[in-house]
Structure 1
Amino acid sequence: MSNASPTLHIMCGKIASGKSTLASRLSRTQGTIVIAEDEWLNALFPNEMSSLSDYVRCSSSLRRVMGPHVVSLLNNGLSVVLDFAANTVTQRNWMRTLVSASSASHQLHVLDVSDEVCLRRLRERNATGEHPFVVTDDQFHQFTKYFEVPGPSEGFNIVKHGN
């Protein structure tokens, strides 16, 4: 295990902006694990994820269970890459409670990627069939309506990533 203090890495970016790719890269640091929301949602709710309201309901259930686990990992010296969307103030507030409940530092990774690039990547991802969820262009736009860029007033240590 690394002697560095544990860090909670938080991902903020639209669908197909590269959050999971960045999460995978960050997890290569010794003493760091990834917890991927899509994998858990697919495992726990495989036939219940067809709409935005389904996502909100299932994700809320997952967060209730996962929160104490993430805090435990951080307090035991592991860094966690939380590959969960931090795309709204409400989602980020939940993640703030994890930082507050632990002794860990944090980084909010903000992926600033255009809708056009995200949609191209999304179509490519859908075509491979390797991702647990197929997301349509319409669903992308529906989710994107709720995207809120984090601001300085939220108090996160922001790390920006471009296209």
Structure 2
Amino acid sequence: MTDIKPTLHLVCGKIAAGKSTLARELSIDPKVILINEDTWLSRLYPEEINTIPDYVRCSGRLRSIMEDHLQQLLQAGVSVVLDFPANTPDIRAWMLGIATRAKVENKLHYLDVSNDQCKERLHARNASGSHEFAPSDEEFDVITSYFVPPQKDEGLNIILHVQ
């Protein structure tokens, strides 16, 4: 993937929809940098994220730190794949604001995957121990209750990935 202009790539989808896998695929070009929220959170806040309010608090801190950095990378001509879940209108508005201030294109990659398929993938991922976080089915259900599919009127360039 070689972008003519720097682009902010965003990923949207439920837990275990394949966001991080797609993000890695999008970042194979040398002029593209991948920034993964789960990696940053697990290293900055080890043992601190045990509940949804913990996640909200810590991810908010991370977003406040990353905002100017992301804008500077984009303005320097580097495309960014932001592997943060773009799963609510507020988070997507924050992400769009970064692209807008940096004056770069945005692409929101929306993975439309069923709850059953996500849970099946989650079980396999949890069993393999390959991910920083291993939510239960109950946590999946609670977190998914906050998920809002992207809408065209949000100002994002949506690319639908149906699986």
Where on the TM-score scale, by shorter chain, does this alignment land: which range? over 0.9
Number of residue pairs matched by the alignment: 162
Deviations 1:33-76 (A, max 9, x none): 10000000000001111111111000000000011111000000
Aligned to 1:69: 69
Q: Distance in 2 between matches of 1:50 and 1:154?
A: 31
Summarize the alignment of residues 14-163 of structure 1 with structure 2, pairs less than 5 Å apart: 14-163=14-163
Q: Distance in 2 between matches of 1:107 and 1:15?
A: 20
- TM-score, normalised to structure 2's length? 0.97
Secondary structure class of the residue paired with 1:84: strand
In structure 2, stretches of 5+ residues that fail to align are none
Q: For residue 119 of structure 2, what is the amino acid of its counterpart?
A: L
Q: Distance in 2 between matches of 1:34 and 1:149?
A: 23
Deviation at 1:101, TM superposition (A): 1.1
Deviation at 1:162, TM superposition (A): 1.1
Q: Distance in 2 between matches of 1:107 and 1:3?
A: 11
Deviations 1:123-163 (A, max 9, x none): 10000112111110001000000100111111110000011
Deviation at 1:103, TM superposition (A): 2.1
- TM-score, normalised to structure 1's length? 0.97
Deviations 1:69-116 (A, max 9, x none): 110000000000000011001111110110111021110010000000
Q: What is the identity percentage for the equivalent residue pairs of Structure 1 and Structure 2?
A: 48
RMSD: 1.0
Q: Distance in 2 between matches of 1:90 and 1:14?
A: 16
Q: For residue 161 of structure 1, what is the amino acid of its counterpart?
A: H
Q: Contact between 2:11 and 2:82, CA under 8 Å: does it hold in 1?
A: yes
Q: Distance in 1 between matches of 2:142 and 2:130?
A: 22
Q: Contact between 2:88 and 2:149, CA under 8 Å: does it hold in 1?
A: yes
Q: Distance in 1 between matches of 2:103 and 2:96?
A: 12
In the TM superposition, structure 1's runs of 4+ consecutive aligned residues that sit over 2 Å from their partners are: none
Q: Contact between 2:3 and 2:79, CA under 8 Å: does it hold in 1?
A: no
Q: Contact between 2:96 and 2:106, CA under 8 Å: does it hold in 1?
A: no
